[in-house]
Structure 1
Amino acid sequence: MLLKSNIPFSYVFGKIKYEMLVILLYATTIAVLYNTYHYTRITIPIAVPAILGTVISLLLGFRSNQAYDRWWEARHIWGAVVNDSRTLARQVMNFTQDSFENEGIMAFQDRMIRRQIAWTYSLGRHLRGQSCDRVLEKYLNKDELQYAQGVDNVPSALMDLMGRDLKLAMEEGWINRFQQVEMDKTLSRLTDAMGKCERIKNTVFPRTYSLYIHMALLLFIALLPFGVIEYFGLFEVPLVVAISACFLLIEKMAIHLQDPFENKPTDTPMTTIAKSIEKNLLQLYGLETARRKWVHKELIHEDMQEEHILRYKSKKDYYVL
């Protein structure tokens, strides 16, 4: 996702530089024919490109709105993933609190927190078609890693593991029936968010719709020099280039926004969101673990600050995915 407000000029127009070069040569040719060789019969009424431009403007506006709706829905879904991840961590830590050191409960908490972090990272990489082995190796044990690597949908496999652990926690008496239902609802919401992301990913924007708009745009650009050459003379060249650039940039913007999971600068910043979730969950787990050690073993309060809380330095990259 783009971070800097002062986006370089070269980045913006670099997306259409070849189209602009062709249009510049085309408009210059029309200007030379009209002004140097006096081919005055090549002009057409300016109303023709004006009407066509108005229609294309409406179509591009409608297409841009549709593309932005897809992008915003993706961002809205990942916002829900953040909330539900924090909710799950809070439920895991608070529902299973015990007045005595219980290794089974602490192992359950550790597995659930680690799996949720791995699930968040793996979901983003799954949507982008990338391998998630490195993050799985960091947060899963050997058996969990082997199970996750043996399936096509890694996030779904991790959800299955968390569901099994939830059942085990209820059978062991670490949580009651009501708490199990509430935590299962949280897992269901996360699964629902995953399904919504996959729907956006797998639903291709209608190609024919994009093709027809692009063909109409090319026709408009082709007719535009003939409509304005009579009124603007040689100034027709920069005018045609400027108008064409505006239309082409709007079209490119819609194309980039319509696919929010394609590892582009305009993507939903899934990796950045996953890092935020990782930081929040590890801090919560570290603080709670340290609090229990402080209660049961009378540790000094300062120990839980530096040892358990992870801190991330802010990145100054051009964009973060």
Structure 2
Amino acid sequence: MLLNKKISIFTFLKQIKFDIIAILIYAIVVGIADQYGFLSKIEIPIAVSAIIGTALSLLLAFRTAQAYERWWEARIIWGAIVNDSRTLIRQVKQFVPKKDADVVKEFAYRQIVWCYALGETLRKLSYSKKVYDYVKEHKIPKNNVPNSIMNQHGAALSKLDIGDFKQVQIDSTLSRLCDAMGKCERIKNTVFPKSYSLLVHFLIYVFATLLPFGLKDEYVLVEIFLTALIPIIFIAIERTAIILQDPFENVTTDIPMTTLATTIEINIKELIGDDDLPFQEKPKTFYIM
């Protein structure tokens, strides 16, 4: 997730470098040809470019809004995971008799691993040592590790002799965690319609193609500058939306699942009196993961 820090412009420009190169080459070639060459007689009313630019602006506005909505929904889900993880261990700690303190620790460590496993699964990364060791020790099926760990929570809950009412309360918390996991999987597995992306990208290049023939020809440098600048702005907006629309892709704009999982681990271990807390480094860059 991006932080409120200065971001290097070159980091973003690398995302659209090929589009920038293509548009710059086109702007220079067409600008010179339109000024001194065989294209000088071609004129297209600027109103045509204006109509396409207006339609393109509306499409990009919708695209950006939908992309941010997906990202924000993912952030809300992980905020709920943080809260429900704390609630789960607090409930278990309160409801389970003190003589069964080991049961509380089992729930706590299982929930910690679940948070890391969910983030790493969504990003399709190899499991960290903490998750790998737990999976190996407890012989957890690797098809869907977070779901298997949640099933262990349920099995352990069914064995607790704490009364039906208290079991229902804990089960309600587990259900919310399971619901959050399903929502993350839905966002991860639902791609933004490719046809919409192709339409927007196509219109940007149509706009860039027609634009120089509607501009005045007195100053070639001004024509080249405008022919390149306006389409590049549209490309930049489109790329911003593309980056935001997938919040679990292990890029700088991701939801900070690893950082949140570390926060959950610290909070849970403090709840159970475990002093072996992970060290959470302060961010050294403009983003956290």
Task: Give the TM-score normalised by structure 2.
Answer: 0.94
Letter in 1 for 2:125: Q
**Residue in 1 that maps onto 2:115:** 120
Answer whether contact 1:88 1:183 (CA < 8 A) is retained: yes
Letter in 1 for 2:80: A
Query: Deviation at 1:39?
Result: 4.0
Answer whether contact 2:269 2:277 (CA < 8 A) is retained: yes
For these two proteins, the number of residue pairs brought into alignment is 289
Q: CA RMSD in A?
A: 1.8
Answer whether contact 1:122 1:135 (CA < 8 A) is retained: no
Answer whether contact 1:53 1:220 (CA < 8 A) is retained: yes
Query: Deviation at 1:34?
Result: 2.6
1:282 aligns with 2:269: yes
Answer whether contact 1:282 1:310 (CA < 8 A) is retained: no
Distance 1:264 1:311, change over 3 A: closer
Answer whether contact 2:256 2:288 (CA < 8 A) is retained: yes
Query: What stretches of structure 2 of length at least 5 have no aligned partner?
Result: none
Query: Deviation at 1:261?
Result: 1.0
- Percent identical pairs in the alignment equals 46
Query: What stretches of structure 1 of length at least 5 have no aligned partner?
Result: 288-306
Distance 1:309 1:21, change over 3 A: closer
Higher alpha-carbon deviation: 132-141 or 76-85: 132-141
Matches within 5 A, 1:195-210: 195-210=182-197
Answer whether contact 1:286 1:309 (CA < 8 A) is retained: no
1:314 aligns with 2:264: no
Query: Matches of 1:119 and 1:308 in 2, distance apart?
Result: 18
Distance 1:238 1:106, change over 3 A: same
Answer whether contact 2:205 2:231 (CA < 8 A) is retained: no
**Residue in 2 that maps onto 1:155:** 146
**Residue in 2 that maps onto 1:168:** 159
Answer whether contact 1:283 1:308 (CA < 8 A) is retained: no
Distance 1:155 1:19, change over 3 A: same
Q: Alignment partner for residue 223 of structure 1, among 210, 216, 223?
A: 210
Deviations along 1:60-89, whole A, 9 cap, x unmatched?
Answer: 101111111111111111111011001001
**Residue in 2 that maps onto 1:302:** none
1:23 aligns with 2:23: yes
Could you say what secondary structure the match of 1:169 adopts?
Answer: coil
1:244 aligns with 2:239: no
Letter in 2 for 1:132: Y
**Residue in 1 that maps onto 2:255:** 268
Could you say what secondary structure the match of 2:217 adopts?
Answer: helix
Distance 1:169 1:226, change over 3 A: same
**Residue in 2 that maps onto 1:87:** 87
Could you say what secondary structure the match of 1:248 adopts?
Answer: helix
Distance 1:270 1:231, change over 3 A: farther
Q: Alignment partner for residue 166 of structure 2, among 179, 199, 203?
A: 179
Answer whether contact 1:42 1:226 (CA < 8 A) is retained: yes
Query: Deviation at 1:245?
Result: 1.6
Distance 1:234 1:141, change over 3 A: closer
Could you say what secondary structure the match of 1:245 adopts?
Answer: helix
Query: Matches of 2:208 and 2:143 in 1, distance apart?
Result: 46
Query: Deviation at 1:308?
Result: 5.0
Structure ID, larger Rg: 1
Query: Deviation at 1:241?
Result: 1.7
Query: Deviation at 1:91?
Result: 0.7
Query: Deviation at 1:230?
Result: 3.1
Letter in 2 for 1:58: L
Distance 1:197 1:186, change over 3 A: same
1:131 aligns with 2:141: no
**Residue in 2 that maps onto 1:9:** 9
Answer whether contact 1:49 1:227 (CA < 8 A) is retained: yes
Letter in 1 for 2:192: F
**Residue in 2 that maps onto 1:44:** 44
**Residue in 1 that maps onto 2:69:** 69
Answer whether contact 1:115 1:140 (CA < 8 A) is retained: no
Query: Matches of 1:185 and 1:94 in 2, distance apart?
Result: 16
